[in-house]
Chains A and B, each alone.
Chain A
Amino acid sequence: MLHTINKSPFETNSLETCLRFARAGHSVLLFEDGIYGAFKGTRFESLITDSLKSKNIYVLVPDVEARGMRTDNVIDGIKTVDYAGFVDLTVDNKTVQAWL
């Protein structure tokens, strides 16, 4: 199952709620303002690091670059994708849930 997050974790609880419900083996894509959850040094880093033990987390590169953030500062273990990779994720997962 693929979960998508498009909100900054500093603005809404979408990321936290999503990770509360996502199960082991699920994938989570951070895009739009959701990408702000992907970086080292934020107060969400330990939540992400912990989730990476059982889940796959992805971040959408065009949205990282648009915001002046750096892909080399993304938390280790998070994978980067472009829109084509986003499409592949939705193909690989039967259910897609957008945490709006």
Chain B
Amino acid sequence: MEDEVIKKFLYVNRKAPYGTIYALESLEVVLIGAAFDQDVSLAFIDDGVYQLKKDQKTSVDSGAGMKNFSKTYLALGDYDVNKIYVDKASLDERGLTADDLMELVYEDEDDDYKEKSSISIVNQEEIAQLMEQQDVVLSF
């Protein structure tokens, strides 16, 4: 990069996967954005929490006939995208818990490459604070 500005980018995901393309194309932005070495966080709120549901099953040749892109979330840790915030109230009202979500992890290079969870389940106050600290909020 010509100038070394590091900005705080927050991706806000509030839409369920498959019904519309927003989740998939938002993830494509996150992956490309990872190459820019910015300070990236992801927030999953409302139906967005369904994007992280484990056991998604579809392929181009079977089921709903759409590509199962959920595996891409599992790769986020390798792209140094490891600050993933899930709104607890959104999980609660959907009858979901942390156990229903994919296990997203990253290797902490500051801690002997220990594998750690990328997901924090947080309350609205924590997410509100996070939002306030951002330079750029991309919502899809």
> Does chain A touch chain B in the assembled complex, meaning CB atoms less than 8 Å apart?
yes
User: What number of A residues sit within 8 Å (CB to CB) of B?
Assistant: 14
Residues of A within 8 A of B89 (CB): 20
Contact residues on B (Cβ < 8 Å of other chain), bracket: 10 to 19
Chain B 78-99: CB-based contact to A (< 8 A → 1; otherwise 0): 0000000000010000000000
The answer to whether residues A94 and B135 also contact, given A21-B128, A100-B14 and a CB cut-off of 8 A, is yes
Q: B22 CB to closest chain A CB, in angstroms?
A: 8
Say if the beta carbon of A52 comes within 8 Å of chain B: no
- A-side contacts of B3, CB under 8 Å: none
Q: Is the CB of A97 within 8 A of B12?
A: yes
B136 to chain A, nearest CB (A): 8
B residues in contact with A96, CB < 8 Å: 137
Contact A1 B131 (CB under 8 A): yes
Task: Report the nearest A residue to B15, measured CB to CB.
Answer: A100
| A1 proximity list for chain B (CB < 8 A) | 131-132
| A97/B140 contact (C-beta < 8 A), A17-B46, A21-B124, A21-B127 known | no
Bound together, the chains give a CA A38 to CA B127 distance in angstroms of 25
Cα A17 to Cα B131 in complex, Å, equals 13
Q: What per-residue 1/0 map shows which CB atoms of A74-100 lie under 8 Å from chain B?
A: 000000000000000000001111111
Beyond A97-B137, A98-B139, 6 additional contacts (C-beta under 8 Å) are A1-B132, A21-B128, A95-B135, A96-B137, A97-B139, A100-B15
| 18 chain-A/chain-B pairs, Cβ below 8 angstroms | A1-B132, A13-B46, A17-B14, A17-B45, A17-B46, A21-B127, A21-B128, A22-B128, A23-B132, A95-B132, A95-B135, A95-B136, A95-B137, A97-B131, A97-B139, A98-B139, A100-B14, A100-B139
